[in-house]
Amino acid sequence: MLSQTDSDIIKTLKDMENGQKELKHELVKISWYMRGGLSYSEAMALSPTEREIIAQLVKDNLETTKKSGQPFF
């Protein structure tokens, strides 16, 4: 990082900030879909693999809900 220009450093920091926002959004979304079964604090402790598994489960459940016509709360 020492050899980067100021604009490169600013870009890197903005990229890191955007990554952080995306992660927080993903964690809040997981917490919301879990309906109290997993708090935001607990979601923060999940590994990337665990988050991926939960996201796939949510996606599968949404697809099942659409096919069955049952409400998804």
**Mind listing the pLDDT tens digit for each residue in 7-63?**
999 999 999 999 999 999 999 999 998 888 999 999 999 999 999 999 999 899 889
Other residues' Cβ atoms within 10 Å of the Cβ of residue 27: 20
Q: What is the pTM of this model?
A: 0.74
The domain ranges of the chain are 6-68
Q: How far apart are CA 51 and CA 30, in angstroms?
A: 8
pLDDT at 70: 82
Q: Which amino acid is at 16?
A: M
The predicted structure's pLDDT at residue 35: 86
